[in-house]
Amino acid sequence: MSLPRIGVVIVTMGNRPRELDALIASVDKQDMPAARVVLVGSATPLTDVPHDVTKIPLVDNPGCPGARNVGLQFLCESGEVDVVIELDDDGLLIADDVFRKVQQLYMADPSLGIVSFRIADEHGETQRRHVPRLRADDPMLRGPVTAFLGGGHSLSVPMLKEIGIWAAEFRFGHEETDLAWRALDADWKILYEPELVLQHPKTSPDRHAVYYRFTARNRVWLARRRLPLPLIPVYLGVWILLAVARIRSVAGLKAWYGGFMEGLRTPCGPRKPMKWRTVWRMTRLGRPPII
């Protein structure tokens, strides 16, 4: 069996040029080069980007998952790569053997669909929300999981050709969960590998103005698209309680409620609920699809 070929997709809006330069430099220094690096400019012309990468400027901003899809489609259709690594444009690969380790993981297990990197700030700290499991006390605990981190991860091209690419209509929030649940339902594995590190500035997700609205709307869409009918009210009920407990501002709660109602009233996309055996598999992995 030949070694999997690695491709890279980076999406930028052109507002972090120094961080993007540093990221691409960290990609270039890998001890095993990528077969192709694709830079997608989301409403960004890319004329001032000096790097020797494949540039795809988009006139409009389709949201992060929509822009990533452009890069994924390019690489999947090219036939040049077997695995795609997607990286946030303000991230940084601090080690030079990341691509080689990813290659070895996929070489060792053809059923591996997704590898989730560890996100750490410049001090090496990993926020609890960046550990893709319920028991998040130890960010160095490696193993199979039911979710992955959008900032740094790798995706199997054969998996993408089977289950499809990102849910672009989500725009922001829960598109990773939608993709993860589809992967698990098709019997692909998701691995959290903390030795693969993407350095990323410490941030809070509610820095985005649309965070509460899109989080609520997309969670409802996710449930309507992917869960067996009996689990939909349980899942949404749990998250209503968590939202009330966690959101500290009246404005945040109003935005969240508006998004929740939007999720109930608007089309959610094609419905393909996961199998009950997938529910059981996720439960055995420590995170049943009700939380």
216 within some domain: yes
pLDDT in tens, 163-216: 999 999 999 899 999 999 999 999 999 999 999 999 998 876 655 558 899 999
pLDDT value of residue 136: 79
Average pLDDT over the chain, rounded to whole? Answer: 94
The enclosing domain of 84 has a CATH number of: 3.90.550.10
282 within some domain: no
Q: Are residues 150 and 48 in the same domain?
A: yes
Residue 143 has pLDDT above 70, yes or no: yes
pLDDT value of residue 1: 61
Q: What is the mean pLDDT of residues 119-123?
A: 92
Give the predicted TM-score (pTM) of the model: 0.94
How far apart are alpha carbons 261 and 13 in whole angstroms?
Answer: 30
Q: Are residues 159 and 244 in the same domain?
A: no
Domain final residue pick, 203, 222, 244: 203
How far apart are alpha carbons 195 and 225 in whole angstroms?
Answer: 33
How far apart are alpha carbons 188 and 168 in whole angstroms?
Answer: 21
Q: Are residues 89 and 197 in the same domain?
A: yes
What's the domain range around 234? Answer: 209-274
Domain final residue pick, 153, 176, 203: 203
Q: Are residues 159 and 62 in the same domain?
A: yes
Q: Lowest-confidence range among 27-41, 131-145, 210-224?
A: 131-145
Total domains in the chain come to 2
pLDDT in tens, 220-270: 999 999 999 999 999 999 999 999 999 989 999 999 999 999 999 999 999
Q: Are residues 213 and 91 in the same domain?
A: no
